Amino acid sequence: MKAVVVGAGIAGLVAARQLGLAGWDVEVLEKSDVPRGDGYMMDFFGPGVAASERIGLYPRLAAVAYHVEAAEYVDLQGHPTSSLDYDQFARLAGGKVLSLLRPDMERAALAALEDVPSGRVRVRYGAPVSQAWGDEDGVRVGVDDSPDGTLAADALIGADGIHSEVRAQLFGPEEEYLRPLGMRASAFIVTEPDLNARFRNRFVLTDSIDRVAALYSLRSEEEVAAFMVYRDATGATGYLPSGSPRERLRREFAGLGHAVDRLLELCPEHPYDDAVAQIVMPCWQRGRTVLVGDACGAVSLLAGQGGSLAIAGAALLGDILGPVASPEGIGPALAEFERRWRPVVEEAQAAGRRAASSFLPANRTQRLLRRWIIRATHLPGIDRLVARQIVGRIAK
């Protein structure tokens, strides 16, 4: 059996590995020329933890995880206003929490392909898919670097992220499914040894209204990962027409203190920059095509579980599709995958929407309330309520 996976992000690589281990031939097509280095520090908790333990990926993730002691909100002078202890957060999140840089997660998933017998999974970088077809005889994708321009397979897995081309081709245009949450997010990494030394082992976030800039020191001892979220009612995705993302960030984040000014000075012209949004679809599979990860169920950074769900969803897809040995079995397997996985994604999406109201306070009162909520995590009883607000019900 042969599968084409579109997208070598976390979901695509894990799905490809699991199918390869089950004996499928897998071709992964990735539009980027190399594994992408952009991204931010992610909290890895929830269903992805158990799934990665089960499929043997967890040790690779733990090996590149950062040790975070606390998430600390600071005022303009850099003095803490409230702080969430990470051991406490791990308890609220139901157990283990790893702090991982997105590109490190992706690299770990890529390295784990070496567990698959040689030649069974092929990853082609610089191979953007621009067309996709599917019917009862099989699936085909149009890929620019293929000799005859198309590639055929028994099953097609669209793991090409929130702006999925496979989804657009086979399920309809993005506007039908994308739900903006009224904010934009940017992430980038800068080389700044002084900031690195100052902020080691803790997430530092500005305790600001309508915007938040966060930073974390990387283990290189020179680099700092920056992450910025601000209100944006347009809901526009991709790059906005008004100036480069860097110019916009410099405008939006002026006046938040020395550390943020320095990050903005060093910010690349085109950092990761996109609307904070979810993907909500009535159906994730059709015939022998299925979507996985952000492509069908993006939960947004507000749910804090994008990477975790990408791994757990892809692992489950591998469990269900892997044993299928005939083309007729593919459709029912994909429907079964959706039936089992959809409730978990919907729960995380609901948590993401709940978090939208408190993530960026709109005024001083809301900011005070957030400080109170963070302090309340130390009170027995309240902590479960806060956990539900922050991470939703922890799915098994």
Ligand X SMILES: Cc1cc2nc3c(=O)[nH]c(=O)nc-3n(C[C@H](O)[C@H](O)[C@H](O)COP(=O)(O)OP(=O)(O)OC[C@H]3O[C@@H](n4cnc5c(N)ncnc54)[C@H](O)[C@@H]3O)c2cc1C
Element (H, E) at 81: strand 80-85
What is the smallest separation between the CB atom of 311 and ligand X, expressed in angstroms?
A: 9
Please say which residue, 55 or 185, places its beta carbon nearer to ligand X.
185
**Which residue, 239 or 372, is less far from ligand X as judged by CB?**
239
Minimum gap (Å) between residue 105 Cβ and ligand X: 7
Where would I find the H helices in the chain?
10-21, 47-55, 58-64, 86-92, 102-111, 165-170, 193-198, 245-252, 258-266, 294-297, 306-321, 330-359, 364-376, 382-391
Beta strands 202-206; 211-217: pairing state: antiparallel
> What is the rounded distance in angstroms from the CA atom of residue 304 to the CA atom of residue 92?
13
Q: Binding residues for ligand X, per CB under 6 A?
A: 6-12, 29-32, 36, 38-40, 102, 128-129, 159-161, 165, 185, 187, 272, 293-294, 301, 306-307, 310
**Residue whose CB is less far from ligand X, 48 or 331:** 48
In the complex, minimum distance from the CB of residue 273 to ligand X, in angstroms, rounded to a whole number: 9
In the bound complex, what is the minimum distance in angstroms from residue 326's beta carbon to ligand X? Answer: 28
Whether 209 and 368 have beta carbons less than 8 Å apart is answered as: no
Query: Least distance (Å) from ligand X to the CB of residue 382?
Result: 28
Of 8 and 330, which has the nearer Cβ to ligand X?
A: 8
Please state, in angstroms and rounded to a whole number, the distance separating the CA atoms of residues 312 and 152.
27
Nearest CA-CA partner of 45 in 14, 104, 86, 11: 86
Nearer to ligand X, 85 or 125 (CB): 125
Give the count of beta carbons closer than 10 Å to the beta carbon of residue 159.
32
Residue 200 beta carbon to ligand X: minimum distance, rounded to whole angstroms: 21
Phi-psi region of 381 (alpha: psi -120 to 50; beta: other; left: phi over 0): left
- Decide the pairing of beta strands 129-135 and 121-124: unpaired
Nearer to ligand X, 173 or 323 (CB): 173
| Number of helical (H) and strand (E) elements in the chain, helices listed first | 14, 18
Cα(157)–Cα(290) distance, integer angstroms: 5
Q: What is the closest distance, in whole angstroms, from the C-beta atom of residue 57 to ligand X in the complex?
A: 14
Nearer to ligand X, 38 or 346 (CB): 38
In the complex with ligand X, which residue's Cβ is closer, 27 or 207?
Answer: 27
Nearest distance in Å: CB 129, ligand X: 4
DSSP code per residue over 234-265 = T---SS-SSS-HHHHHHHHTTTS-HHHHHHHH
